[in-house]
Amino acid sequence: MKGILLLLTLLLLSISDILVAQTKKQQPPIIPERVINIDFNKTSGKLNTMFNDCVGAGRANEGLRADWQQQLAYVKKECGFRYIRMHGLLTDDMAVYTVDSKGNPMYNYMYIDVLFDFLHSIGMKPFVELGFMPTALASGSKTIFWWRGNVTPPKDYEKWAALVKDLTRHFTERYGAEEVKTWYFEVWNEPNLDGFWAGTQEDYFKLYTYSAKAIKSVNSSYRVGGPGTAGAAWEPEMIAFCEKNNVPIDFISTHAYGVKQGYLDEFGNSGTVLDKNPMSVSGDVLQSRKEIDSSTMPHLELHYTEWSASYTPADPIHDSYHEAAYVLQKIKQVGKAANSMSYWVFTDIFEEPGPRFTPFHGGFGMLNTQGINKPVFYAYQFMNRLGSIELVNNDSTSWVCRDSTGNIQALAWDFTNTHPGDSVHNQQYYIRDLPSKSKGKLKVNIVNVPDGTYALEIYKVGYHSNDAYSSYLALGKPVQLNRQEVEQIKKQNDGSPVTREMIAVKAGVPFTKELEIRENDVFFLNMIKL
């Protein structure tokens, strides 16, 4: 009898376990929900727009090209950049400096004038990088890049200073002192790397001293700084040197990139790995600000005059939809620590490793050579469309703003570093078709929105959404794009709203919008009061 009861008990327990298991299977999975709660009436102040203060370009001579100028005018219009920084202003292909038969210096600014006049015509200002060395003034023959920028110190520092002074005087005559006061003068580029500076740190500080004093001799209000280093290097040393030697300095500049493995890949041949550190790049910026604040010159501005996910012009993350969310994540993390963060660069018309032969090759640009918008372009376009008044927001991966006319803008994203780790290079990973996984629901909830009728536009960047590289993959990755293929990719990724609708907001009723969000999606909501 006891045996029968035991069997019945075991049978009942088994049936119970089966029923529990079936019940669990029938229950729908819990979908995560991220809620952005906003009060229209609670503001946190003026939106910090350091994100579009400056943008990078390859070298000055490329700025004489019609397609480069057309792309810059477009990027300026859509993304609002105010300054532009580039290499090679003094390199031989700009024909700035030579000597006569007696060895006397001869200055020529015709090419610089064409370039700077164009910048002026579209409302942009130069972030003047002084470099590289004119051959006639160079102490050696060491160069960098396909276009042979000379990286040696001057053979005569007095003649270097005379060139800098005369160039600064020329700028003053051509554009006026009040205009040039708004510019920045940065001395050299990444002198802590042997590839960019054939001298020592002491030699660089000597170059900086001669340059800064030459600029200030024209107008003491002109702004000069450095050291323009790779990897946030030499900042305390730079400040200490200037303090000890009474050398003028107005800002600290440096660079950071979000990959592991070194800082310089001249011809785009090395492999890279996107850093898994969630504070890569932004951690450097915060540390730089901390170093300045704790120095004897806490008033100095901080400019990151180059930054991106990767330091090589052959990294497919630059073309990927992941780059848009990456950029937004880093800028949000930086907050007010930097006065500017200059994305490197605005266009793939960029010839450090020489002209490129494929339309998508992992180039630095926001636009490819044919002017196709990459996903990162839209990240900057969306930021530029934010209203000037930021609203209080506890969500760490979004901005919500309004403008003076009552329109509301919300920019929200997911950044998920899906890179598999050190065993795989970016160059093997980001060239693939990379479908995104669901991250659940995103709900934007705004209370105290003034009642009325609004046009709601929703824009999106993500996998197969304003994702030109995926369109290129679908075409079979042609080595060259014909005119029809370029237009097809542009049309498929033209930044049009994914939805448009009319919204009636009633007094006392919150505005709520729920969206499906996936890994590395970026959403921009634009509520236009009618």
Tens digit of each residue's pLDDT, the chain (530 residues): 555 545 555 555 555 565 555 555 566 567 789 999 999 999 999 999 999 999 999 999 999 999 999 999 999 999 999 999 999 999 999 999 999 999 999 999 999 999 999 999 999 999 999 999 999 999 999 999 999 999 999 999 999 999 999 999 999 999 999 999 999 999 999 999 999 999 999 999 999 999 999 999 999 999 999 999 999 999 999 999 999 999 999 999 999 999 986 556 777 677 899 999 999 999 999 999 999 999 999 999 999 999 999 999 999 999 999 999 999 999 999 999 999 999 999 999 999 999 999 999 999 999 999 999 999 999 999 999 999 999 999 999 999 999 999 999 999 999 999 999 888 999 999 999 999 999 999 999 999 999 999 999 999 999 999 999 999 999 999 999 999 999 999 999 999 999 999 999 998 999 999 999 999 999 999 999 99
Give me the pLDDT at residue 3, please: 55
- The continuous run of DSSP H or E covering 84 comes out as strand 83-87
Distances (CA, A) of 438 to 317, 432, 518, 523: 21, 19, 4, 14
Amino acid at 428: Q
**323 token code pair:** 């780059």
- Short-list 518, 398, 328, CA closest to 37: 398
d(CA 493, CA 472): 11
**515 token code pair:** 């969206």
Q: Other C-beta atoms within 10 Å of 79: how many?
A: 22
3-class DSSP state of 474: helix
**103 token code pair:** 């060895």
**Exactly one of 306, 323, 352, 519 is catalytic; which is it?**
306
Unique residue bearing structure tokens 């029938």 = 26
Give me the pLDDT at residue 270, please: 78
Question: Do strands 273-274 and 223-229 pair parallel, antiparallel, or not at all (unpaired)?
Answer: unpaired
Going by the DSSP 8-state scheme, the letter that residue 340 receives in this structure is E
Radius of gyration, CA atoms only, the chain: 27
User: Would you list the DSSP string of 9-29?
Assistant: HHHHHHHHHHHHHHHHHHSPP
Question: Do strands 223-229 and 184-187 pair parallel, antiparallel, or not at all (unpaired)?
Answer: parallel
d(CA 319, CA 360): 7
Q: What is the separation of C-alpha 67 from the centre of its chain, rounded to a whole number of angstroms? A: 21
Q: Other C-beta atoms within 10 Å of 35: how many?
A: 12
Going by the DSSP 8-state scheme, the letter that residue 163 receives in this structure is H
Paired with 527 in beta bridges are 408, 456
**109 token code pair:** 């600014």
Sheet strands (E) in 261-373? 273-274, 301-308, 340-343
Question: Which distant-in-sequence residues (6+ apart) come within 8 Å of 109 by Cβ?
Answer: 96, 167, 170
The verdict on whether 186 is a catalytic residue reads: no
Paired with 36 in beta bridges are 444
d(CA 305, CA 228): 7
Handedness of CA 413, 418, 422, 426 (dihedral sign): negative
**Exactly one of 62, 129, 190, 352 is catalytic; which is it?**
190
**333 token code pair:** 């993390």
Unique residue bearing structure tokens 């040393």 = 237
pTM > 0.75: yes
Geometric angle at alpha carbon 438, from 433 and 442, rounded to 5°: 130
Distances (CA, A) of 354 to 103, 135, 144, 150: 33, 20, 11, 16
- Short-list 518, 370, 362, 502, CA closest to 440: 518
**521 token code pair:** 């999606």
The verdict on whether 306 is a catalytic residue reads: yes
- Short-list 115, 136, 122, 121, CA closest to 57: 115
